[in-house]
Amino acid sequence: MTTAAPIPRDALGLGLRAAHYGHLLSRWPEVGYFEAMSENFMGDKRASLDRLDAVRARYPVVLHGVGMNLLGHAPLDESYLDALCRLADRVDAPFVTDHLCWTSAAGLSHHDLLPAPHAPELVELAAERAAYVQRRLGRPFGLENLSSYVSFERSTMTEWDFYAAVVREAGCWFMLDVNNLYVSSQNHGTDADAYLRAIDFSRVLQVHLAGHSREDDGTLVDTHDHPVADAVWALYAKAWREGGPFPTLLEWDDRIPPMPEALDELQKAARARG
């Protein structure tokens, strides 16, 4: 069980990225907490773990994964969970999150966050697995909504009903990504406001913000290589009014700006709250 103090509900955090280590480990800027990408530190990665330990000595660190394969056809990978639990214990993460998606199939890993049909039988599957993961971790486990580019004929539920049902049945938590919510609603022509209304904000562990890109055909792609879009800030402000406070974290994974610039972008969240 975790002994970590909870992240304050109004905290602002930043995704921990190697590009920022130089600034971070010499200046120690004021940041509420950091979110480490779990897989970057799982296993025998001595150099990475040394840096993570140095960060953890000064800041709370939460973990965010991209490889759990919660909705994969194959059973959960116990060796993956062993490594994740060890890492969560090492940093005493106040919470751990991953995505409501699949990443691997037929023994091959695709290193992407892939959508599945929104079907009741997958609610049961995902909820059972998420509840199991949360028990193994001994700390709150949150599921993030995806950015997606395709939908399935087999879906019989809206994405928000599917997501809310999994969290409710699992007894786990929402990790609400407002950029993903916006990207998917634009790509599929769905109602972002209805999505927000379906969220029980008392079960939101954290909210993510990030930038996206627009393809030539208008498809929005979750690239994390731009500042947060104005429309996403507007949706974030609405989420805050509906259900704030909640810890808020900025992700930036490509064309990463210098850390002071990323922190300036993060501060916009405080202003967006009104």
Partner 1 sequence: MRDAPAWLAELQARFGEAMRTPLDRASGTLTATPARYPAELVRATGGAEARLAVYNRQYWFRLFTVLQTVFPLTVNLLGAWAFNDYAARFLLAHPPTSWDLEHVPEGFEEFFAHELGAHPHAEALSSAARLDAAWRALLREGPAVPFGPRAEDAARLADARLVPSPSVLLWEERWALLERKVSLVGPRVDEPASPPPRHDAPRWWCLRREQGGVRHLPLEPGEGALLGLLRERTVRDALAALEASCDPEQRSGLPAKTQRWLARGVERGVWRAVDFEDQRRTQV
Interface with partner 1 by CB under 8 A: which residues?
A: 39, 42-43, 45-48, 50, 67-69, 71-77, 80, 102-112, 114, 116-117, 121-122, 124-125, 128-129, 132, 149-154, 187, 215, 217, 219, 221
Q: Specify the residue, 39 or 251, whose C-beta has the smaller distance to partner 1.
A: 39
Give the SS3 label for residue 90: helix
| Residue (145 or 148) nearer to partner 1, CB | 148
Q: Which helix (H) or strand (E) holds 143?
A: strand 141-144
Measured CA distances, 205 to 52, 95, 135, 232 (Å) = 22, 8, 16, 19
Task: State the minimum distance, in angstroms, from the CB of residue 126 to partner 1.
Answer: 10
Residues in Cβ contact with 178 at an 8 Å cutoff, skipping those fewer than 6 apart: 207, 208, 209, 232, 235, 236, 239
Looking at the Cβ atoms of 10 and 128, the one nearer to partner 1 is 128
Tokens of 212: 């996206």
- Supply the minimum distance, in Å, between the C-beta of residue 62 and partner 1: 19
Q: Which residue reads 């140095």 in tokens?
A: 54
Which residues lie across from 213 on neighbouring strands? 221
User: What is the closest distance, in whole angstroms, from the C-beta atom of residue 155 to partner 1 in the complex?
Assistant: 10
| Nearest distance in Å: CB 249, partner 1 | 21
Minimal distance, residue 147 CB to partner 1, in Å: 10
Q: Identify which of residues 6 and 171 has a Cβ nearer to partner 1 in the complex.
A: 171
**143 Cβ neighbours under 8 A, 6+ residues apart:** 70, 97, 98, 99, 100, 126, 130, 163, 166, 167, 170, 172, 173, 174, 175
Closer Cβ to partner 1, 30 or 50, answer by number: 50
